Amino acid sequence: MRKLLYLTFSMALVAALTTYAMWAADRPVGHYLSDLRINLAVDQGNPADRGNLLGIQPELFPTDYQSPERLHRKLAAYLQKAQDQGLLNEKTIVVLPEHVGTWLMVSGEKDELYQASTLKEAMNWLAASNPLQFVRALISATGTNRLDDAHLRMKAKGMAKDYQALFGGLAKEFHVTLVAGSIVLPEPSVIDGKLKIGHGALYNSSVVFGRDGLPIGQPQRQMHPIFDEQDTLAANTEHTVNVIDTPAGRLGILIGSDSWYPDNYRKLDEQGAQLVAVPAFVVGHGTWDKPWRGYKGASTPGSVSLKAGELSEGQAWHRLTLIAQPPSSQAIAGMSVFLRGQFWDKGSAGQSFLSSNGQHSADGDTRGARLLNLWL
């Protein structure tokens, strides 16, 4: 009798594991509709032979990341619209928003993930659909929030490959220099023209791709993650700021709140940066108009007089981003580009703006994808 029970239990367990393995391996592709429209919100200056900064503020949703091909289709449609309007040339620098690459973590997943009502539920589906990858990532996770670390780390190798293929491919396809927003990866670096990952901490990093589709220089790692991310993301404690040569001039990248620190502009000035790109992301519907929460877990620089709560989030971004405001910055122009869309229960609120001659020009519309163009 005992042997029969043992045999029955074993067969049931094998059947359950087999069913689960088949479910986890199944990746059906659901029906997909996406709005490919984009409007030119700001067009400043006059065409010349010095090139232009072109910001793309996309409107993205989880289903846009169901495959790299889907995301390519949407971003390529935006770039095609810019090309049709005469905004692309061999000196164009295209700027994409923060974390536009990070959401590649949900590429190739099951329909249940994209249909989840909350981000937490979606991450549970991510782990359940990739049990071995998740367990391996959890074992090697660092920081105080090991669960979020594991979610971001578990598909990092594939994410890095897809990120380079997608954004490097767009740069080559449209013959532009592309600031590919940012992506969270463990110890990212460029080796022999390929974006590679390491085994250490997670960094929010940005890569610039040239017109040949290859990375230019090393990834720029974020120096000051906001407090919501500090238990998962590591800070670039060396506070290194990379400046690269592009056909339009020397370009520096400041990711998100890195653009709030005057010392970073001094470092860019020391390297002769003429242009500054700021990929950014603000979480939460309406946050742009709510009181600014200050430096969010980090000490306020001594040269900054702003205090939390005395102005809105949007006003703070405009005041703290010191592009083309001498003597704070010697750059001639810059652009802050925000990710818009709805990722489960996490909305977004940033409104992209460009800076030139000490003045800001902003997109005041909160809906839809936007282009912002600045002729140099």
Once rounded to an integer, what is the mean pLDDT over residues 347-367?
A: 82
| pLDDT score of 112 more than 70 | yes
Instruction: Out of 3.40.1480.10, 3.40.50.280, 2.60.120.260, 3.60.110.10, select the CATH number for domain 53-375.
Output: 3.60.110.10
Once rounded to an integer, what is the mean pLDDT over residues 7-12?
A: 48
Which pLDDT band, with edges at 50, 70 and 90, does 6 fall under?
Answer: low
C-alpha–C-alpha distance, residues 345 and 373, integer Å = 31
Across 4-13, 185-194, 227-236, 325-334, the highest mean pLDDT is recorded for 185-194
Looking at the chain, the whole-number percentage of residues with pLDDT higher than 90 is 71
* Residue 128 or 23, more confident: 128
* Residue 24 or 55, more confident: 55
Q: Which residues contact 12 (CB under 8 A, 6 or more apart)?
A: none
> What pLDDT, on the 0 to 100 scale, is given for residue 11?
47
pLDDT tens per residue, range 315-334: 999 999 978 677 778 899 99
| Two tokens, residue 272 | 């002769």
| pLDDT score of 182 more than 90 | yes
| Two tokens, residue 304 | 């900054």
pLDDT tens per residue, range 114-142: 999 999 999 999 999 999 999 999 998 88
| Two tokens, residue 105 | 């973590």
DSSP tag of 49:
T
Looking at the chain, the whole-number percentage of residues with pLDDT higher than 70 is 89
Helix (H) or strand (E) holding 209, with range, is strand 208-209
pLDDT tens per residue, range 245-254: 999 999 999 9
Positive or negative: CA dihedral 23, 25, 29, 35: positive
DSSP tag of 15:
H
Region for 50 from its dihedrals, namely left if φ exceeds 0, alpha if ψ lies in -120 to 50, beta otherwise: alpha
Nearest C-alpha neighbor of 102 from the set 178, 159, 151, 140: 159
Say if residues 190 and 218 touch (Cβ distance below 8 Å): yes
Positive or negative: CA dihedral 187, 137, 111, 346: negative
| pLDDT score of 96 more than 90 | yes
| Two tokens, residue 371 | 């282009």
Which pLDDT band, with edges at 50, 70 and 90, does 32 fall under?
Answer: low
